[in-house]
Amino acid sequence: MYAGYATQVWSYGGSDFDENGKCSIASDEVIAATEDFISALQISGASDWTNRRWYELAIDFANGKYGLIVDSDHYVAYFEDSKYSSMVGEFGYALPPVGPTGLMKPNLWTWSLVMNAQSKNKENAWRFIEWASGKKFLTRSALEGNMNPTRKSTWDSPEFAELVSSWGDFAQVGRELIEKHAKVLVTPATNYRKVADIWVRALLDSYLGKKSVRDALTQAAKEMDAKVAR
C-alpha cells in the first residue's frame, strides 16, 4: 500500500492527512487515485489480489504473469535472479508515471534499525546496529541479494556496479529515484499500523464491490481521525 498505491495517491495531489492533522483520504484527489487504482487491478491485476503477498506478486511478475508493476525497486533481487525469474535480463526499469496534475511523488518506504530505550544491553545493541548498517556488511549483503543498499558507498563500489551491469537501466533509474524524487510522504503516527489497517480495509471493500470508493474512503477517514495518535 505504501509503495505503488501511495505513490499514485500523492502524484494525484492527494495525501493521508492535511496540514491541520485531519485525515484527507476522502478528498477528490485520493478518491480519483483510488478509483483508477482499483479499476486497473480489476481489469489487469492478479485475479486473487486480496490473497497475494508482495513477494508473491514480485515473483509472478518475474515469470511473465503481468506486463507492468509499479512497486518497490528492491524487487529487482527477484527479477534478475534465475532462481526466481524466468526473464532475467529482459526487464525495463523506469520512474513511476506522473499523475494528472503533472506531479510525480514516489513515497519512500523504509525499514529502520532502532534500540529500545529500556534495553539492558545498549552497548552491544549499538555495536550490532553499527555492524548491520556498516559499509562492509551492506556491500556484502547487496552482492548476496539484499536490495537495495542504503549506503552511497555501496552504489559507488566497483563490485556493485559489476553486479547490476546487466540489469538494464536499473542502477541509473534507482539512483535518480532515491536522489531526486523519493521522500517519506506518509504522516508519522505512533500507531500508524492501526491507522493503515483502516485504509487497507477501505481498499479491499472497494475492490470487492462491498462499497463504492467514495463511501469506503469517507468511512475510513472518520475512523482514522478517531484512531490516530496526535
Quick one: the chain helix, strand, coil %, rounded to 5? 50, 0, 45
Segment 131-154, tens digit of pLDDT: 999 999 999 999 998 888 889 999
4-109+184-227 has which CATH code?
A: 3.40.190.10
Task: Compute the CA torsion angle 142, 148, 151, 155 (nearest 10 deg).
Answer: 70
Query: For residue 22, what pLDDT band results from cuts at 50, 70 and 90?
Result: very high
**Domain boundaries defined on the chain:** 4-109+184-227, 111-168
Segment 56-115, tens digit of pLDDT: 999 999 999 999 999 999 999 999 999 999 999 999 999 999 999 999 999 998 888 999
Q: What stretch of H or E contains 49?
A: none
